[in-house]
Amino acid sequence: MTFKGSISELISDIEIEEIPGVLSRDFEVARVIAKTQGRGPIVYFRVEGCEQDSVSNIVDLRSKLYKALKVESENEGYARLLEAMSNPSPLSFTGAPKLKTADRGLLSLPAARFYEEEAGLYISSALFIACFEGVCNASIHRVLVKSENIGVVRVVPRHLWDLYMRASSKGLDLPVTVVIGVHPAVMIATSSSPQLGVFELNVASKLMGGLEVYESPLHGNPVPYGAAAVIEGWLTRDMMEEGPYGDVVRTYDRARMQPVLKVDSVHLNLEEPTHVILSGGLEAALLIGYPKEALIWDYVSRVVARVHKVRLTPASGGWLHAVISIEKRHDGEAKSAIMAAFAAHPSLKHVVIVDPDVDPDDPGSVEWAIATRFQASRGLVVIENIRGSTLDPSAQDGMTSKMGLDATKPLKAGPEYRMTRIPGV
C-alpha cells in the first residue's frame, strides 16, 4: 500500500474546527492560529483571495504527530525516522491528479503577514524540491511574496543552497518545484536533514510505507500526489531583500539579500487544503524540532543506560533548548549526555539533563531539579566561542557560548533528594 502524501489522509479521523468567513491576510490568519493551537482540533479556514481552504495546527500536539507517524510513542517515532533516514525507500510514480492553473500566481496561495514588523506577505510552509546533476533535495523554506510571479526565498547554507550554488557556478538558475499542503510525515522527513544525496522524499516513502508521486508539469520533479498546490519556477541568481520575519524563536530574523524565486506557473489541487504554519507556534516547533530530537535520542542513547525523554522546548522554538531525562550507570554520564546532545544538534544552545522522575514536559519539574540537584561547581558545562544557531539574536554571526546543566542526583543519593508526594494526587 502506498500513500498520496496528502493532508486529507491524516485529518479524516481528527476533530476539525471550521472558522467562519474569510480571513484577512494581515494578522487575522495568525490570530486564529495562535488562539486555537494546543486545544486539539485542526482548524479549517479560507484566506482572502484563495480558492482553496487552508488548515493549521495539524501537528501542534504530540498526540497528533504520533498519529501522523502511526506510532505509539516518541521513542518509536524516533527509531522509525532514523531507520527511514538510513534506509530510504523508492518512490511510486503515477499519473498527475487533476490540477487547475491558478489565476493570480503566488497570490492564489495563503500568503499572510503574521507579525507586525514583518516585511510583507509570507508563504510559511513551502516545500522546495530541486534536482540538479543527479542529486535531489526537498526542504522547507519561507517565501516573501512580492507579486504574482516573484518571491524571495530564505535559503540557509544547507543542501538547497549547495544545489543552488552548483547551478550558479555554471551560470544557471536552479529549477525548483515548490509544493504546499502535504502530509506532516512528509514535512517531518524533509526537516530531517539526511546527508546530501539522500532524497528526503525517499525518507518520507520509508516513513509512510510508500509514497505516490508524479512528475511536476514543467521540470519533471517528483511531487507527492496529494499536494494541494504546486509552483513551478526558478531559484534565480538575482537577489532581493528578504525580511524581517518572525522566526521560530519569536524574534525577528533580520533583512538580508536572498535569491529571487521567478514563478512560471501555479497549479492547484482543489480537492486538498493548503497548509499555513505560524512560525513561533507549537506546530512549527514540533515540525522543526522532532527530527532533531530523534538525533539527540540516538546520540545520547550511546553514552547512557537509557534515554526516557528528549524535549526541544516550545519556548526555544523547538530548536535552542533541550531537556533530556536519562538513567545513568555512573556519575559523570550526565556530562557525557550533554556533549552527545551538542554533537547531535549543533544549533543547540542549552541542555538540561534530569533523572527519570523529572518530567521534561513540565517546566516546573525541571526547575525543581535544577534547584535541588544542580551545583554549578560540579554540574555546569560551558563551551565558549563555538558555532551555534543564526536564529539566536544574542549570537554574533552564529558564534555563541553553550551551557549544559547536570541536574541529576548522585547514584548513591539518599532520601533527601526525593520529591515529596501526596497519595492520590
pLDDT tens digit string along 129-165? 999 999 999 999 999 999 999 999 999 989 999 999 9
Q: Domain holding 224: CATH number?
A: 2.30.110.10
Q: Do 125 and 209 lie in a common domain?
A: yes
Taking the C-alpha atoms of residue 287 and residue 60, their distance in angstroms, rounded to an integer, is 9
Give residues with Cβ within 8 angstroms of 192, minimum separation 6: 81, 84, 85, 200, 203, 291, 294
Q: Do 348 and 222 lie in a common domain?
A: no
Q: Do 272 and 308 lie in a common domain?
A: no
**Active site amino acids:** 247
* CA proximity to 137, closest of 166, 154, 153, 159: 159
| pLDDT higher than 90, residue 425 | no
Q: Do 263 and 204 lie in a common domain?
A: yes
**Residue where a domain terminates, one of 262, 277, 292:** 277
User: What is the rounded end-to-end Cα distance, in angstroms, of the chain?
Assistant: 46
**Residue where a domain terminates, one of 277, 312, 341:** 277
Phi-psi region of 153 (alpha: psi -120 to 50; beta: other; left: phi over 0): beta
What pTM did the predictor assign?
0.94
Whether 289 is covered by a domain: the verdict is no
Q: Do 192 and 329 lie in a common domain?
A: no
The predicted structure's pLDDT at residue 424: 87
Kindly report which listed range (86-95, 277-286, 412-421) carries the lowest average pLDDT score.
412-421
**Rounded mean pLDDT, 386-414:** 90
Whether 288 is covered by a domain: the verdict is no
Q: Do 273 and 377 lie in a common domain?
A: no
Contact 324, 348 (CB under 8 A): no
* Percent over 70 (pLDDT), the chain: 100
**Rounded mean pLDDT, 190-207:** 93
Q: Do 200 and 314 lie in a common domain?
A: no
Concatenating the DSSP letter of every residue in 96-124 gives: ----EE-SSGGGGS--BB-STT-SS-EEE
Binned at pLDDT 50, 70 and 90, residue 1 comes out as low
Q: Do 207 and 64 lie in a common domain?
A: yes
Q: Do 317 and 410 lie in a common domain?
A: yes
**Residue where a domain terminates, one of 277, 312, 340:** 277
Q: Do 31 and 171 lie in a common domain?
A: yes
The predicted structure's pLDDT at residue 268: 97
pLDDT tens digit string along 322-356? 999 999 999 999 999 999 999 999 999 999 999 99
Q: Which range marks the domain in which residue 374 is found?
A: 302-417
Q: Domain holding 311: CATH number?
A: 3.40.1670.10
Residues facing residue 233 across a β-bridge: 176, 263
* CA proximity to 268, closest of 91, 106, 42: 106
Taking the C-alpha atoms of residue 245 and residue 324, their distance in angstroms, rounded to an integer, is 30
Whether 106 is covered by a domain: the verdict is yes
Q: Do 131 and 211 lie in a common domain?
A: yes
Q: Do 98 and 137 lie in a common domain?
A: yes
What is the residue-averaged pLDDT of the chain? 95
Whether 286 is covered by a domain: the verdict is no
pLDDT tens digit string along 241-300? 999 999 999 999 999 999 999 999 999 999 999 999 999 999 999 999 999 999 999 999
